[in-house]
Structure 1
Amino acid sequence: MINVQFFPSRRIAFYMARMFVLRSLAVLAALVLILQTLDLLGESGKILAVPGNSDSSLWYYVSLRFPQLVARFLPFSVLLGTLITLATLNQNSEIVSMKAAGISAHQIIAPLIVASFGIAAFTFVFQERVVTRATATLNDWQAVDYGHVPKTSGVVTNAWVRHGDDLILARQVTGRGAETRLHGVSIYDRAGGTLVSIITAARGRPTNGGWRLEDVKKFDVAKTSETRLPSMMAADGVQPREFTLADVKADEQDFVTLNASIASLKEAGMTTGPLEAGLWHKLSGPLSALLMPLLAAVAAFGLARSGQLFLRAVIGMALGFAYFVVDNFALAMGNLGAYPPMLAAWAPFALFLLVGEAVLIRTEE
């Protein structure tokens, strides 16, 4: 008789879900511990080379890097946790017992998929509330080479703006609207793609539709001469919001804030395709945890004594890692503008959902 319930039974469902979650967390802890140690070894020299930094600075770096590593490798951990769980159940002939009791392949992996949904929900909340803030803080700290980061709120670093043929770099932007202030300004004056002069200034502020630069140095490329000026006007027509919006990064803002930033960028007539891909990937990324039990399910079926358990585990791992490769490729194409944002974010998920389901149906047959 075939069991037509969604779960095999409450006891089996809790047993499998608990085994799956514990093994996934164990794999995550091992991965993050090893990778955090290696990363800290690579960055500790740079951090301690800055005067005033100490051991506490290293722990501060760990507190900012740790959430990034957890969010990045949680899907990998779910994949490996699924493989370990299903391979163990298969090795102990528990899968065979379930199949003999009339439990289908879909019912066997159903508890894992439900547990994966919980992991996906946790990942989304963790990214929104913790990872985005840690990423923004760490990027600001790294932008000043692990030195002192100004406490001013709303600081934007390394903002690039294109004005005609000219390129403008503001190493730090503070304030909003008429109170916008630029620090460490570089203007690359070009004519027909040829560099004419380089203007650097310590500070800049908006004045009469342009920008008044202070403590200016102007280098003439043709004459190879440098002129110093106390102040000058430049970048006529460049709006303050072009600097404050120029450094919007999808991984530094939560879903709601990023959606609002995209709307502001559209009003300013700026390209938003890469940011829209990043916006939708904030949803599709955490949901990748739902695919892992489906892609790794091939390791659960087939007789362990046939000698093909290891091969099945390798196939499941290959399917899981193939998803991450395709997902990163699609997101890169979205950032380049080659793929529409929705396609870049959701196509890999839909493709491997179909692949996983096809493999599972074929296995069940």
Structure 2
Amino acid sequence: MVGQVLDRYTLKEFAGPFFACLAGFTVMLLSSIVFELTDLIVARQMPFPTVLQLLIYKLPMILVLALPVAVLFGILLSLGRLAKDSELTVMRVTGRSFPRIALPLFLAAAVVSAATFYLNETVVPAANHKAENLYRQAVFRDAIPQLDANVFLQGPQGRTIYVGEVERAKRLLKHIMIFEQAEGAAGSPYPALLTAKRGTYAEGIWRLEDGVRLTFDADGYVREEVAFSVLEVTMAQGEEELLGEQKTTSEMTRKELADTIKLFQKSGANMDPFVVEYHLKLAIPLAALIWSFAAAPLAIPAARSGRFYGVVASIAVAFIYYVAMALCRSLGGNGVMPPVLAAWLPTLVFGILGLVLLARADHI
């Protein structure tokens, strides 16, 4: 009974700074997006309803970034306050170890991690896709729609399209791959593959140059290989309709990414950047739980240094983690580091550090 009362009391202390940080960090990130849109608002006179729509669509992604920081902030300030007022000492007198005192906070962090994963997997991709389409419409309202490099498009007749480089001024495409689900060899589950070193696009026609068309047998081996100097492919879609299906990794679920990686790896394409993003979609939501292990023991020194220490420590931990994540993402995407290790390294390091600090917390 006493234990339940203490657990509820600890969670109540945590809730205040958690929601305060969540609101503050969310507003700050939304403000940064508004700042980025200033040029569009002024130069292209983007209407306020469109700006509001963009912010609403960006909100789920912002929450995915803000929730772990709010957990970190909430734990540091709540346990720091309890330690400063000697309430932590009183709890320990009842026979509770420090990890047991912090257990309700770890459970809260686990719930936040699960909610973040659900949000990141079900809401964020669709919201990001709508935001990007809305942004493209606003930017290219009076101009030619533009393809982007390193994105996937779902074309007509079951085609999946990847473009490595785009020279927009010339409407020139480079390193093109087109998987044709409907054009595979008879009896084979594998799609036909078109690759081309370059190509151009206009009015629904893609003119591919210096390429190869491959079909595969039932075991995945090349059955037929036909080289071509020029090949015209009819997309049967206007550019605006086709570009509406253009997706970056932030607009894809883990399942969509996994299917895309599996499909394109058959062609020998370098999918390291996409493997990194696939694993980050799980690693980033876990940050809330991982950070909680480090935040709890760090709250004890915070009691001696004051509330300001907790705020600074929260910012420092979040900054170091996100910088490390960005660095590892780049290293993994460029083949310097194995992509799976690159995605998980910051989370593993922080997790191990947190568990070591937690094991020593009763001796601090």
2:205–2:233 CA contact under 8 A, matched in 1:
no
Give the deviation of 1:46 after TM superposition. Answer: 0.3
For 1:298, the equivalent position in structure 2 comes to 297
1:286 alignment partner in structure 2:
285
Query: Offset at 1:323?
Result: 2.8
Q: Secondary structure at the match of 1:350?
A: helix
Could you say which residue in structure 1 is the equivalent of 2:59?
66
Share of identical aligned residues, percent? 23
Q: Deviations over 1:68-125 (max 9, x none)?
A: 2221222112111111111111122111111222211111211111100100011011
1:335 to 327, 333, 336: 333
Aligned partners of 1:206 and 1:43: how far apart in 2? Answer: 33
CA change 1:237–1:273 in 2 (3 A) is farther
Could you list the per-position Cα deviations for residues 9-47 of structure 1 after superposition, in whole angstroms to 9, with x for gaps in the alignment? 222222222432442122111121233234324414404
State the secondary structure of the residue aligned to 2:205.
strand
Question: Deviation at 1:276?
Answer: 1.0
Larger radius of gyration: 1
Residues of 1 paired with 2:208 and 2:123: CA distance?
41
Partners of 2:246 and 2:268 in 1: CA distance:
15
- Deviation of 1:321 (Å): 3.6
User: Which residue matches 1:23?
Assistant: 17
Per-residue deviation, 1:158: 1.9
Q: Please, what TM-score do these two structures have when normalized by structure 1?
A: 0.71
Q: Secondary structure at the match of 2:284?
A: helix
Paired residues for 1:19-98 under 5 Å: 19-47=13-41, 49-50=43-44, 53-98=46-91
How far apart are 1:293 and its partner, in Å?
Answer: 2.0
Q: Following the alignment from structure 2 to structure 1, what is the Cα–Cα distance between the partners of residues 318 and 340? A: 22
Partners of 1:360 and 1:110 lie apart in 2 by 11
TM-score by length of 2: 0.71
Shift of 1:234: 6.8
Structure with the larger RCO, 1 or 2 (CA within 8 Å, 6+ apart): 2
**C-alpha displacement of 1:333:** 1.3
CA displacement at 1:284 relative to structure 2: 1.1
Structure 2 vs 1, CA of residues 303 and 317 (structure 1 numbering), >3 Å: closer, same or farther? closer
Query: How far apart, CA to CA, are the structure 2 residues paired with 1:12 and 1:328?
Result: 39
Matched-pair contact (CA < 8 Å) for 2:204–2:234: no
Give the Cα–Cα distance (whole angstroms) in 2 for the partners of residues 208 and 140 of structure 1.
26
Conservation of the 8 A alpha-carbon contact between 2:283 and 2:347: yes
| Matching residue within 335, 346, 349 for 1:348 | 346
Query: Residue 302 of structure 1 contacts residue 309 of structure 1 at CA under 8 Å; is this kept in 2?
Result: no
* 1:158-307 to 2 correspondences below 5 Å: 158-160=147-149, 174-177=155-158, 186-187=171-172, 202-205=202-205, 235-236=230-231, 249-301=248-300, 304=303
Gaps of 5+ in 2: 176-197, 212-227, 236-241
